[in-house]
């Protein structure tokens, strides 16, 4: 069984980013990323902090805007418009989820598609669907695809089951895997909470992408011998007696599933590190395209 080391592969992506940043610097360009956080959700705050830290480590221009939970829709839209008009900013990310009074879809649509490094704007979703490489792909599915390529997992002709249909992971993941070329050309089934006899469907898969957001939902009964499993989930579950009182687990029951797998990602240390690495990569791409 091969353990797919996301931390190691993310480091390779970051090294590529460093080379790209040096090439842009030689041309007088510095990629800029703005991350906007509304409210004080602890998990969101931790994500924003790690993104800001990685930007600074790479020498990117980083803007971190922390707005109070009382920020109105109009105020947030104005922040987005100001960033759209700032030539030093190439990527804009509004941390999800915002407070309940904010219309997140409207905020996403307000971001300039050329600066939408999260890949959620309808124009970028459409570009992914029509295989237009100038668009931006959401960072987590892009990271999953990179993990498969780096681990030497052949997707061409493979039967893949994506468990989960969110716009953040499931749907873009399916489109990426169906696209022509490296890391694509797969036959994809998208399963979800209403899917009948999920275990039987997953049993036919050469590759399972688990992104359903339920701790340890995928068990040995879902996985055939020799399958590859990419676990996108990151769930905090109680662990009495441990120092923190909780532990992080994926959407896959790792100890039960791993022995059956040809390759599997751990949680933590699998998909997680790839998401920030691909965000850096998308920001560099945005800078390069803005400069073209």
Catalytic residues: 51, 95, 118
Strand ranges across the sheet with 61-67: 61-67, 32-38, 91-94
DSSP-based three-state secondary structure for 32: strand
8 A C-beta contact, residue 231 and residue 250: yes
8 A C-beta contact, residue 35 and residue 280: no
Q: Alpha-carbon distance 233 to 267, whole Å?
A: 8
CA-wise closest residue to 159 among 177, 171, 141, 146: 177
Q: Alpha-carbon distance 191 to 235, whole Å?
A: 20
Burial class of 88 by CB neighbour count within 10 A (0 to 12, 13 to 18, 19+):
exposed
How many residues are given for the chain?
A: 292
């Amino acid at each position: 069984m091969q353990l797919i080391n996301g931390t190691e592969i993310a480091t390779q992506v970051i090294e590529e980013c460093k080379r790209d940043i040096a090439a842009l610097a030689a041309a007088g360009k510095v990629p800029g990323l703005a991350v906007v956080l509304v409210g004080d959700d602890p998990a969101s705050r931790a994500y924003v902090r790690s993104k800001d830290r990685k930007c600074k480590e790479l020498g990117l221009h980083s803007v971190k805007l922390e707005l109070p939970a009382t920020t109105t829709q109009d105020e947030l839209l104005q922040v987005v418009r100001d960033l759209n008009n700032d030539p030093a900013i190439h990527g804009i990310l509004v941390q999800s989820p915002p407070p309940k009074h904010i219309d997140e879809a409207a905020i996403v649509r307000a971001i300039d598609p050329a600066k939408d490094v999260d890949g959620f704007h309808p124009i970028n979703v459409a570009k992914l669907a029509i295989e237009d490489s100038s668009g931006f792909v959401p960072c987590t599915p892009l990271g999953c695809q990179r993990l498969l390529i780096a681990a030497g997992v052949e997707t061409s002709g493979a039967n893949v089951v994506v468990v989960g249909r969110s716009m953040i992971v499931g749907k873009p993941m399916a489109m990426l895997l169906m696209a022509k070329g490296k890391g694509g050309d797969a036959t994809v089934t998208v399963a979800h909470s209403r899917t009948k006899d999920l275990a039987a469907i997953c049993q036919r898969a050469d590759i399972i992408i688990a992104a359903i957001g339920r701790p340890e939902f995928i068990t040995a009964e879902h996985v055939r011998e020799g399958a590859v499993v990419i676990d996108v989930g990151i769930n905090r579950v109680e662990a009495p007696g441990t120092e923190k009182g909780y532990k992080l687990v994926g959407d896959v029951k790792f100890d039960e599933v791993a022995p059956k797998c040809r390759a599997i990602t751990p949680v933590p240390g699998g998909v997680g590190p790839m998401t920030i690495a691909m965000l850096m990569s998308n920001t560099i791409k945005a800078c390069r395209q803005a400069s073209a």
